[in-house]
Chains A and B, each alone.
Chain A
Amino acid sequence: MSDKNKGLGKAREIYLDSSRRPKDLRAAGKKIIGYPCVYVPLEMLTALDLVPYRTCGDIKEPVTEADRVLPHSFCPIMRNCLDCALKNKNNFLDGMVTIHSSDPQEKTARIWESYTHYPYFHFIDMPITVRPEALEYFKGQLNDFRKTLEAFTAKKLSTDNLETAIKSHNQQRVLVRKLYELTKTSPPRISGTEIVQVVKALTSLPVAEGNDLLTETISEVKNRSDGPDKKSARLLIWSSTLDDTDIMQVFEAKANVVMNESCGGVRAYRGEVKLTADPLEGLADYYLNEITCARTFRQATLGETRKDYARDLQSRFGYLGGTIKEWKINGVIMLLVRYCDPFAFEMPSLKDYLSSLGIPSTYIEYDYTTGALAPLRTRVEAFVETISQ
């Protein structure tokens, strides 16, 4: 068993009680700001000495309070997140930042703001395209975010502080990618379950502490002798969110998950924010353009008047091709959180793309509850058996 105070052991402890560190920090005088989605530019919070805390759901928590305010046929993750908030599980937060990264996020933000009473609440609108005028608009949104943060903290957000924060968060992105380098071996040196714990821990810590945790973890994993066993399949999971170890363990019972392509995995860490003369420009570009979530409308050429399906698939899913090759992935599970429309519409096209690479894939849907685990297990076992023959 690893040391609970560093590396993997520490990540596991934070995963199991993600609000403990923010609560301690708050007791020490820090302000804690919640955010539900990886599209929120955390650099701006860090630069003002605010502690970002990702408000995740809990699949073991039955949704009761959110039933009053959201319909059943709605993103179960957002229902679950809001439910936790309505049950005062996030009452240590000093504020909340929400963003229009998808419709459920936008609609839940309105409800969240209406039924809770944090001292600070801000909503960032986000365009759907990466066109120049959309980037310009989004940059304006980030500037408004800056204004409200400055008013809340009574501090100026200086360019120097913002650049320093960008560098720290970029370092975190580099370190997460280094961690994922350790899944390239067969067997991988770190499991998908352990990475879920690490990534969730990162979203509950100030960036500097997160970077220390990653550095320790990478060192520990490189030197460990008790890594995961080799399984017959090396999987990539493609999903909106896979941030729970119970779910990941369903996959890892039969396979090595070497890439978690979701916002509970590598998605928020794939690229880096460019240091631009106006830091908001680099941030706008990174968050709108670089994060590869299905919510963004991408096309082979902006404003194209001719369309070619193969080029279209490349523009939407091409980022997966290199990963599949380098990590020697032999199967992809497209894990759909029920009612997640942006990802749901992608399923047949992603399958087409993967088929063009000769990679078998399957689409599995679940509803972010423990009740979904048994049927999920059956589907995963069948798929792994198929690709292992």
Chain B
Amino acid sequence: MVVAKQKKTINRLKSMYPLRAKVNETYLKSIEAIQAGKPAVWGMLNFYYGDPILKAMDIEVVYPENYGAIAAAMGVARQYLDRADAEGFPTHLCGYSLTTLGYASRMMKELQGQIPPEAPLGGMPKPLFLMSSAAICDARYKWFQALGRYMDVPVWPLEAPIPGIKEFFIEGYYDRMVKLGVKHLRDFVAFVEGMVGKRMDWDKLDKTADLMIEVNRVWHEVNELRKAKPCPMHSRDFWSAMPAALFLAGDLEDSLRLYQDMYGEVKDRVNNHVGTIPDEKYRLVFAELPPWHSLAFFDKLAERGWDFVIESVGYHPPIPIDLSKVSDPLERITKFSLQFLVGYYEDARKQSVLGGTTAYPYLKYAQEWKCDGALLHPLISCRSASTHLPYVSDMLMEKLKVPSLSIEGDIVDLRLFNPEDALAKAEPFEETMEYYRKMRKQAGFDW
């Protein structure tokens, strides 16, 4: 009997697949190069700060945060979590960090530095050094420091200033942030040169910085097009396509071309009123990290007419700024990276939304992408992606009359996310969204 393949509810972008394939191919090439003896660095998502430097130095980077998600999705994280627990790390720590700590313990204590045979996708080899980041959460620099228990590997923690929204406008503040960043990166370059035993190719860094900025500009423009009704691109496409811009995965010239292709496809959809789901009844914003291990959950919601039109501010590119007149590539990189943190500050201050870098953008998202509701995903072991969510919920309701639905989960522990329970909440939330749609109209909002 021939079984007809069931058509997926979400109309995925065709241009997403080559972009994703490029990212996957790059990852596998990277693993092959590392297995052939090329040195690897373990890096932390650093919001564009350190990545272009490593890229210009032709260093292979693996990201334990991503690897934690992969290990969870492929069902091998549990043994690493248990091992980290046995080593004395509290179980409420970030799930990605515990996965990495358990993995490192197994690799170094049991296997004398060999990659564990059960490790998916080729595993993570012992690194030459670690590049951590202070951006967004404490775990992201303390975790790499804690790895010193298993590997005598140097760590470079990248500083990431986080100003208060009012304080940022004190005269000279921004310039001091830039000064910190440039000096810090210059020292980082010297550190990397010392580690790999070769000099930085400054022309290559210059070009890399420009490409990074341009890739992210195009990627930003793609997401701007999603304001259209019906929405031409679903959050699932966003999450699939983002690594090339966020982690600079793959060749940047290829990535630029592929994001341009994506822009073309999304623009076509806008012009032809093609949406991502058959009947866009509700437009939603998603915050923050998705349940990577259960993404099919969004297909179920799509069947109900829920369209996720914008999402995860921490993964979005900065609002573009003109850096073409900044000649020093380190200054350009610094300013671009800072733009991720402070790009929304001016608007946030005007609207007296003081709740932090990651809170205000949701107000803008809901207003400009015309959202009927917000799906919040607080994570048990990721406080940085969860702390601001009650505030976001309050703010969306108070300022825009947009309701939120909160569904708890975790980034690694699959048991903590219950899609059935979440789906059971969908129908009553639809009534809530309908109600507030009326409330918004009465209050003079245009959606």
Verify that A and B bind, or say they do not.
Answer: yes
Residues of A within 8 A of B (CB): 68-71, 73-74, 100, 102-104, 106-107, 109-111, 113-114, 121-125, 127-129, 131-134, 136-137, 140, 144, 147-148, 294-295, 297, 299, 303-309, 312, 336, 338-339, 341-342, 344-349, 351-352, 363, 365
- Whole-angstrom distance between the Cβ of B174 and the nearest chain A Cβ: 11
Q: Are A73 and B92 also in contact (CB < 8 A) when A305-B191, A339-B383 are?
A: yes
Confirm or deny: B162 has a beta carbon within 8 angstroms of a beta carbon on chain A. yes
- Whole-angstrom distance between the Cβ of A18 and the nearest chain B Cβ: 27
Which residues of chain A come closer than 8 Å to B165, judged between CB atoms? 110
Which residues of chain A come closer than 8 Å to B152, judged between CB atoms? 306-309
Residues of B within 8 A of A (CB): 87-90, 92-94, 97, 129, 134, 137-139, 141-143, 145-146, 148-149, 152-157, 159, 161-167, 170, 172-173, 176-177, 179-180, 183-184, 187, 190-191, 194-195, 353-356, 359, 378, 380-381, 383-384, 386-391, 394
* Closest B residue to A122 using CB positions: B167
* Closest A residue to B173 using CB positions: A144
The docked-state distance in angstroms from the alpha carbon of A305 to that of B164 is 34
Interface pair B163/A125, CB less than 8 Å apart: yes
Which residues of chain A come closer than 8 Å to B167, judged between CB atoms? 122-125, 144, 148
The docked-state distance in angstroms from the alpha carbon of A73 to that of B410 is 12
- Nearest 10 Cβ contacts at the A-B interface: A123-B164, A345-B142, A348-B88, A110-B356, A133-B183, A137-B180, A140-B176, A128-B134, A107-B387, A103-B138
Which residues of chain B come closer than 8 Å to A113, judged between CB atoms? 164, 354
The docked-state distance in angstroms from the alpha carbon of A131 to that of B191 is 13
Interface pair B89/A348, CB less than 8 Å apart: yes
- Whole-angstrom distance between the Cβ of B351 and the nearest chain A Cβ: 12
The docked-state distance in angstroms from the alpha carbon of A39 to that of B190 is 31
Which residues of chain A come closer than 8 Å to B355, judged between CB atoms? 110-111, 114
The docked-state distance in angstroms from the alpha carbon of A140 to that of B159 is 15
- Whole-angstrom distance between the Cβ of B49 and the nearest chain A Cβ: 13
Interface pair A107/B356, CB less than 8 Å apart: yes
The docked-state distance in angstroms from the alpha carbon of A295 to that of B157 is 13
Which residues of chain B come closer than 8 Å to A305, judged between CB atoms? 129, 154, 191, 194-195
Q: Are A297 and B157 also in contact (CB < 8 A) when A111-B391, A345-B89 are?
A: yes
Which residues of chain A come closer than 8 Å to B141, judged between CB atoms? 128, 297
Which residues of chain A come closer than 8 Å to B139, judged between CB atoms? 341, 345
The docked-state distance in angstroms from the alpha carbon of A70 to that of B129 is 36
Q: Which of A69, A124, A347 contacts B394 (CB 8 A)?
A: A69
The docked-state distance in angstroms from the alpha carbon of A365 to that of B89 is 11
Interface pair B145/A345, CB less than 8 Å apart: yes
User: 30 interchain pairs (CB within 8 A)?
Assistant: A68-B390, A70-B387, A71-B389, A74-B387, A103-B138, A107-B388, A110-B165, A110-B354, A127-B159, A128-B134, A129-B159, A133-B180, A137-B159, A140-B173, A144-B170, A147-B170, A294-B142, A297-B145, A303-B156, A305-B129, A309-B149, A336-B90, A341-B139, A341-B142, A344-B90, A345-B146, A347-B90, A348-B146, A348-B149, A349-B149
- Whole-angstrom distance between the Cβ of A122 and the nearest chain B Cβ: 7
Which residues of chain B come closer than 8 Å to A294, judged between CB atoms? 142
Which residues of chain A come closer than 8 Å to B390, judged between CB atoms? 68-71
- Whole-angstrom distance between the Cβ of A118 and the nearest chain B Cβ: 13
Interface pair A295/B138, CB less than 8 Å apart: yes
The docked-state distance in angstroms from the alpha carbon of A348 to that of B89 is 7
Q: Are A307 and B187 also in contact (CB < 8 A) when A128-B134, A144-B173, A339-B383 are?
A: no
Interface pair B356/A347, CB less than 8 Å apart: no
Which residues of chain A come closer than 8 Å to B162, judged between CB atoms? 100, 106, 125
The docked-state distance in angstroms from the alpha carbon of A297 to that of B132 is 11
The docked-state distance in angstroms from the alpha carbon of A348 to that of B93 is 13
* Closest B residue to A336 using CB positions: B90
Q: Among B176, B386, B387, which residue has the most Cβ atoms of chain A within 10 A?
A: B387
Interface pair A341/B149, CB less than 8 Å apart: no
The docked-state distance in angstroms from the alpha carbon of A351 to that of B88 is 9
- Whole-angstrom distance between the Cβ of B328 and the nearest chain A Cβ: 15
* Closest B residue to A339 using CB positions: B92
Interface pair B93/A345, CB less than 8 Å apart: yes
* Closest B residue to A139 using CB positions: B176
Q: Which of B93, B137, B154 contacts A307 (CB 8 A)?
A: B154
Which residues of chain B come closer than 8 Å to A133, judged between CB atoms? 159, 179-180, 183-184, 187
- Whole-angstrom distance between the Cβ of B345 and the nearest chain A Cβ: 12
Which residues of chain B come closer than 8 Å to A100, judged between CB atoms? 162
Q: Which of B138, B164, B354 contacts A342 (CB 8 A)?
A: B138
Q: Are A71 and B89 also in contact (CB < 8 A) when A110-B356, A136-B180 are?
A: no
- Whole-angstrom distance between the Cβ of A165 and the nearest chain B Cβ: 22
Interface pair B386/A71, CB less than 8 Å apart: yes
The docked-state distance in angstroms from the alpha carbon of A69 to that of B397 is 13
- Whole-angstrom distance between the Cβ of B155 and the nearest chain A Cβ: 7
* Closest B residue to A145 using CB positions: B167
Q: Among B87, B129, B170, which residue has the most Cβ atoms of chain A within 10 A?
A: B170
Interface pair A103/B383, CB less than 8 Å apart: yes
The docked-state distance in angstroms from the alpha carbon of A159 to that of B152 is 45
Which residues of chain B come closer than 8 Å to A104, judged between CB atoms? 383, 387
Which residues of chain A come closer than 8 Å to B143, judged between CB atoms? 345
* Closest B residue to A121 using CB positions: B166
The docked-state distance in angstroms from the alpha carbon of A346 to that of B97 is 13
* Closest B residue to A75 using CB positions: B383
Q: Among B138, B163, B180, B384, which residue has the most Cβ atoms of chain A within 10 A?
A: B138
Interface pair B148/A312, CB less than 8 Å apart: yes
- Whole-angstrom distance between the Cβ of A30 and the nearest chain B Cβ: 25
Not counting A71-B378, A71-B386, a sample of 7 additional A-B residue pairs whose C-beta atoms are within 8 angstroms of each other reads A106-B356, A133-B183, A137-B159, A140-B172, A303-B191, A341-B137, A348-B89
